[in-house]
Structure 1
Amino acid sequence: MITACAVDRLPEGESLRIPGEPAIAVFHTDGEFYAIDDTCSHQDASLSEGWLEGCFVECPLHAALFDLRTGMPTCLPAKKAVRTYPVVVRDGVIYVDTGSTEAVA
């Protein structure tokens, strides 16, 4: 598991990017935390810089929309899912479990 940040550092409706290989985007929406690969499966764009609406993030480059729960794209131009990761909140800290993936692109 990797540490993302303290819960109070990621307000509702916001996201953060965890650099690495692969980079991971963490989102706080609808009272939940979600983690997905940060790079859009259509083209090299950071999903953490996209627009968040409920459980969906819109890629800032070509407007592909991804479901944060499954990683699946809901519209073109993206056709491939992005990887999702389990998120654990413990003692006020957000952790991302990179050892097991919930969906594989």
Structure 2
Amino acid sequence: MAAVRICGIDELVENQASRFVVDGVPIAVVKDAAGEVFAIGDTCTHGDISLSEGFVENDTLECWAHGSMFSLKTGKPLTLPAYEPVPVYRVDIEGGDVLIDPAVTLTV
């Protein structure tokens, strides 16, 4: 599958996660204060909770239900109770559009 436009970069709110479903894959997308965009799996690995409803702080996304924090760069959990990482997706910005291919995950 090729990368899919999910939104315009200006549609993302700084330091707030947004949920998108691309080809059936739920993805949490975050634009940080520097304008960098991250995309990680939207489902907490501790429980079936949408991470995009959580809290962004620096380069982490915190699950609102149990407090697990995930790195936006690596997908790795930084705090318990989660101990399994979430996938991280490559983000391309072209002409102000945010593109993601849910079939391409990054290994960090």
* TM-score category (smaller protein): over 0.9
User: In structure 1, what is the Cα distance between the partners aligned to 2:50 and 2:4?
Assistant: 19
CA deviation after TM superposition for structure 1 residue 50, in Å: 0.5
Aligned sequence identity (%): 39
Structure 1, 13-22 or 69-78: larger mean CA deviation: 13-22
Identify the residue that residue 4 of structure 2 maps to in structure 1.
2
- What residue number does 1:24 align with? 27
Question: Number of paired residues?
Answer: 104
User: Does 2:87 correspond to 1:92?
Assistant: no
Query: TM-score, with normalisation over the residues of structure 2?
Result: 0.90
Q: Distance in 1 between matches of 2:17 and 2:27?
A: 10
- Structure 2: 5+ residue stretches without partners: none
Asked if the contact 1:82–1:103 (Cα under 8 Å) also holds between the matched residues in 2, the reply is no
Residue type of the alignment partner of 1:27? V
1:98 deviates by 1.7
Mind listing any 5+ residue stretches in structure 1 that lack a counterpart?
Answer: none
Deviation at 1:99, TM superposition (A): 2.5
**Post-superposition CA distance 1:43-81 (Å, at most 9, x none):** 011111100001101001100000000000001000000
